[in-house]
Amino acid sequence: MNTSPPSDKLCKHHDMTAPVSPQEVLTTAFEPSQLQSEAEAFTISAEMGVDFYSDVSVLYNLTSDFCGKKTEEVATMDILIHRLDAHVRDEDALRDIEKVRNMYHGMLHVYVYLYRVHWHHFVQLDMSGHLTLCWKRLMAFAAEYRVLDASVLHKVYDFIMSIIEH
């Protein structure tokens, strides 16, 4: 799976003779620092989950313009989006690791739906790149911060790549 963030590290420019403290090194946006505790990584995962939800909800809401009739699948996705929305607004849910993981699982379900049902719409609107960028950001973050099991991420990646490649 090639969803890791860019390997180029961003570093502050230092005088090569001056010692560099570990706190001065900047990493890529999604790379957990060795200095982070599990609790800090979890807090970042919860905060980023809110941002990722914002991306997926905008993309999902865009699809309502192409949906003619409301099928059972669309109704199910609407319920999922409403549940995700409730999670990101609930401070207590964002403090519970399992609820945060469920939120990430839910967002993956929405992306699978968007690709499976609406990929051709995103291509026609010339927005397929944006959809893919948002999805890959979520996947990279979930992999780097180990929010979700790697086997789940691999299955989702393989499924979505099979749609993109057709």
The most confident of the ranges 21-30, 63-72, 123-132 is: 123-132
Domain spans, the chain: 38-164
Residue 51 has pLDDT above 70, yes or no: yes
Mean pLDDT of 52-80: 88
Residue located via tokens 């961003």? 10
Residue 98 has pLDDT above 70, yes or no: yes
Q: 113: closest CA among 166, 45, 59, 54?
A: 59
What distance in Å separates the CA atoms of residue 53 and residue 110, rounded to the nearest whole number? 10
What distance in Å separates the CA atoms of residue 94 and residue 37, rounded to the nearest whole number? 17
Residues 6+ apart with CB under 8 A from 148: 101, 104, 105, 108, 142
Class of domain 38-164: mainly alpha
